[in-house]
């Protein structure tokens, strides 16, 4: 009874992903784009606005007072296949639609949130977000750089849901109502 309801409730709302990504990445050479790491994708409909905020920190601090420049690169779906086929980090960087500068602090503290807003998207677009260090500044200073924690928060005209997920929440709520109806109208015989 109650356990089934709890499971269905979790299932309904766990399949709807708000766009708040918390991820640990490694910028060591050997990734798809050397010195870069894929973070997330997010779909935005035609004429909607998009807000992206990001911050970074080292998982393990190693020194006080150093700051390494990184970039958060935004690619739209038109450029993404070219990015994957590019031979170098700089080639991929040149294809980025938007570049947000970010500074990684060596003391393990979170950087400031850096935000970027696109007021009106000109077509339905899927955005791919990548953390990048094309200059290699982090590795020139520290060859065995610890993993980097990244937090990315994206909004689609104020909604935390990707455009691809708009119908999922409605469908899941309808399924929850149907489940509650069947639960309420079904009688159980308890055997003692």
CB 129 within 8 A of CB 41: yes
CA–CA distance, 85 with 78 (Å, rounded to integer): 13
Domain count, the chain: 1
Residue pLDDT, tens place only, 40-50? 878 776 777 77
Q: Are 131 and 44 in contact (CB under 8 A)?
A: no
Percentage of residues in the chain having pLDDT higher than 90: 13
What's the pLDDT at 189? 63
CATH of the domain at 144: 2.60.120
Identify whether 187 is part of a domain. Answer: no
Structural domain harbouring 87: 18-169
Q: Are 132 and 70 in contact (CB under 8 A)?
A: yes
Is 90 within the bounds of a domain? yes
In 3D space, the residue among 156, 119, 158 whose CA is nearest the CA of residue 41 turns out to be: 156
Q: What is the tens place of the pLDDT at every residue in 139-173?
A: 666 666 678 899 988 777 555 656 555 566 777 78
d(CA 64, CA 55): 18
């Amino acid at each position: 009874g109650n356990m089934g309801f709890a499971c269905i409730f979790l299932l309904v709302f766990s399949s709807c992903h708000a766009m708040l990504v918390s991820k640990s990445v490694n910028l060591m050479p050997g990734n798809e784009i050397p010195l870069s790491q894929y973070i997330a994708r997010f779909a935005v409909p035609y004429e909607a606005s998009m807000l992206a905020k990001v911050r970074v920190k080292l998982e393990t601090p190693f020194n006080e007072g150093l700051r390494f420049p990184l970039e958060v690169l935004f690619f739209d779906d038109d450029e993404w296949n070219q990015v994957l086929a590019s031979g170098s980090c700089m080639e991929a960087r040149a294809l980025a639609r938007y570049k947000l500068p970010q500074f990684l602090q060596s003391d393990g503290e979170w950087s400031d949130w850096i935000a970027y807003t696109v007021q009106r998207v000109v077509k339905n677009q899927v955005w791919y977000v990548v953390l990048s260090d094309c200059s290699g500044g982090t590795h020139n200073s520290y060859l065995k750089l610890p993993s980097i924690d990244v937090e990315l928060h994206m909004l689609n005209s104020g909604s935390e849901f990707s455009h691809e997920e708009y119908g999922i929440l409605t469908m899941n709520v309808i399924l929850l109502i149907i489940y509650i109806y069947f639960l309420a109208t079904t009688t159980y015989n308890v055997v003692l």
